[in-house]
Amino acid sequence: MQRIMNNPDVIVDEMLKGFLKAHSDIVEATENPRVVKAKDIPEGKVGVITGGGSGHKPAFVGYCGKNLCDAVAVGEICSSPTAAAFLDAAKAVDQGKGVACLYGNYSGDNMNVKMAVKMAKKAGITVKTVVANDDVASAPKDQREKRRGVAGEVLMWKVGGAKAAKGGDLDEVIAAAQKAIDNTRSVGIGLTPCTLPAVGHPNFEIKDGTMEVGIGHHGEPGIEVCELESAEKMAKRMVDVVVPDYPFVEGDEVVVLVSGLGATPVMELYVLYDEVDKLLAEKGIKTHKAYVGNYFTSLEMMGATLTIMKLDDELKELIDMPANGMGLKQF
Amino acid sequence: MSIFKNADGKPVLLKMVKGIQDNKAYLGEVDGLIGDGDHGMNMNKGFSLFEERFKDEEFGFAEGLDELGTILFNEIGGSMGPIYGNILMGMAEAGEDLEEIGVADLAAMLENGLKELQDIVEAQVGDKTLVDTLSPAVDVLKAAGEAGKDYKEALEEMKDAAAKGRDSTKDMVAKFGRSSRLGERSRGVLDAGATSCCIILTAMADGIIELL
């Protein structure tokens, strides 16, 4: 294991120290060392929070900032933050207008958020939630509620954060974020596994020369393992999973997000994006905006995710709003 | 003896801590087969934090369970924080007013722990989770309490039930948590939560037997 670290047991805390120093213009610490808060949150708005395990940089703390999430709860690597951290994130940003907690569909996160919502209620804070479930490969369509949240969460935060910044009330923010995720589908392809620093060896295997289609952000198995293919074929495989599931059809305007899983060179993501764009253009699907880069990763896994979101007028306006977080800067 | 004093319970808690510490690597291995391999590490972290903070303090059985549960809940996170947090705090809640704890009392405490757990998770027996260990342990202890069985005998029966429950997860397909994503591929290995739950219950039983 070739890693830059001191002690794997405190790697998350050490990462946060560096993160807060490097991005002190955007974020600040709170009393809870596992809660990061945006600087200069406008007065009187609905709070927007998220949280999740570490190892997915820039998610989740990278989406804390202007017109994005107001606070983020930080967990151990690939492990949900505590209910207390979610609660403290809500407390840190509640201005009496309620808090929207926009997070991903994983059992630990579900439990901790559920308890945080209960505890917040006792403290007089209304927290409503949207659970991202954009990963097509993780369950069949008729069991959409079982699907995981992956890179589509970035678009959910972008939309929810923008809606709150525009002065939307809690129900409007929740409705916009829910619409964003309902209109979004993702799929991932993994080329190599990842290793938890404190474990020291990969906990799943992807053999050299093969790739796993539909892999999750923690190596959860996908739809099939096949031989490593060209970017053109990979793009086709991903488009063929994502497009028919929603389904995205001719005339749709969409946002396309291609995210690396951590160790794939960004150069390759552009090769993949070009192939995806060609396929979408062939289908008459119009790309309004594209994001290509490391937006939601899995430690040092190689591979990429493709996320597509169908726009309507409201989503388009919210996606186009400026934003300033470490992981997403838009002017 | 048919009871132990709640106030004397500190060594029972320390025994539970040791059970987890001694099995840190083993739990990591079990979890690594179908999970992400951090179960031993996370459990050890929480239980050791408790030991560090309370080893020089005086506390009783229910109080210790509450403190341990609170640490797991507030400081560990993941799935295991709220799961064991709820179980232990639920047990503590049902036992906090007791001066003496008999078989039926202990059964009621465990039952309340299971109830608190089922407030946040939907897992039932057969879903390849720690419920497969905890639920039969509660049943056996409850029956022993009603039958007025000898304390030691009741605890030995509970240990057996927990171990059988743990072993039953081997042939199950996971329905909850990360391993549920594996479907059929999750068959053939023990559930890590069911394994740690058995370790904790066994250590608790052994600790209580020493007090009798």
A331 lies in some domain? no
pTM of the prediction? 0.91
Domain extent for B15: 3-211
Nearest CA-CA distance, residue A294 and chain B, Å: 23
Contact by Cβ (8 Å): A157, A69 = yes
Together in a domain, A97 and A202: no
Together in a domain, A64 and A158: yes
Together in a domain, A38 and A161: yes
Q: What whole-number percentage of chain B has pLDDT above 70?
A: 100
Together in a domain, A120 and A204: no
What is the C-alpha to C-alpha distance for residues B190 and B199, in angstroms, rounded to an integer?
13
What is the C-alpha to C-alpha distance for residues A59 and B81, in angstroms, rounded to an integer?
22
Contact B25/A at CB under 8 A: no
Chain B residue with minimal CA distance to A146? Answer: B181
Contact A114/B at CB under 8 A: yes
Q: Phi/psi at A257 (nearest 5 deg)?
A: -125, 120
Domain containing residue B28: CATH number: 1.25.40.340
Q: Which of B178, B182, B186, B191 to mutate to test the interface with A (most CBs of A within 10 A)?
A: B178
Which residues in chain A are contacts of B39 at CB distance < 8 A? none
Domain containing residue A223: CATH number: 3.30.1180.20
Q: Phi/psi at A210 (nearest 5 deg)?
A: -120, 170
Together in a domain, A157 and A192: no
Together in a domain, A31 and A170: yes
Once rounded to an integer, what is the mean pLDDT over residues B133-147?
97
Mean pLDDT, all residues of chain B: 94
A233 lies in some domain? yes
Q: How many domains does chain B have?
A: 1
SS3 B124: coil
- Could you tell me where the DSSP H helices lie in chain B? 10-22, 24-34, 39-54, 61-75, 80-95, 103-120, 131-147, 151-168, 192-211
Look at residues A122, A156, A183 and tell me which one is the last residue of a structural domain. Answer: A183
Look at residues A144, A167, A183 and tell me which one is the last residue of a structural domain. Answer: A183
Once rounded to an integer, what is the mean pLDDT over residues B117-144?
94
- Could you tell me where the DSSP H helices lie in chain A? 11-22, 83-93, 107-122, 152-165, 170-182, 231-245, 266-282, 313-320
Higher per-residue confidence, B36 vs A331: A331
Together in a domain, A31 and A146: yes
Please give the pLDDT value at position A242: 98
Report pLDDT digits (tens) over B158-168. Answer: 999 999 999 99
Together in a domain, A52 and A151: yes
Contact B45/A at CB under 8 A: yes
What is the C-alpha to C-alpha distance for residues A327 and B101, in angstroms, rounded to an integer?
55
A2 lies in some domain? no
A202 lies in some domain? yes
Contact A80/B at CB under 8 A: yes
Together in a domain, A46 and A34: yes
The catalytic site residues of A sit at 56, 218
Q: Would the CB atoms of A82 and B76 count as touching at under 8 Å?
A: yes
Look at residues A151, A183, A215 and tell me which one is the last residue of a structural domain. Answer: A183
Together in a domain, A192 and A172: no
Contact B81/A at CB under 8 A: yes
Which residues in chain B are contacts of A81 at CB distance < 8 A? 77
**For B41, which of A107, A198, A221 is closest by C-beta distance?**
A198
Report pLDDT digits (tens) over A90-149. Answer: 999 999 999 999 999 998 999 999 999 999 999 999 999 999 999 999 889 999 998 999
Together in a domain, A218 and A143: no
Contact B122/A at CB under 8 A: no
Q: How many domains does chain A have?
A: 2
Domain containing residue A109: CATH number: 3.40.50.10440
Together in a domain, A168 and A257: no
Nearest CA-CA distance, residue B99 and chain A, Å: 30
Please give the pLDDT value at position B58: 96
Nearest CA-CA distance, residue A82 and chain B, Å: 4
- Please state the separation of Cα A129 from the chain's center in Å: 15
Domain extent for A31: 10-183
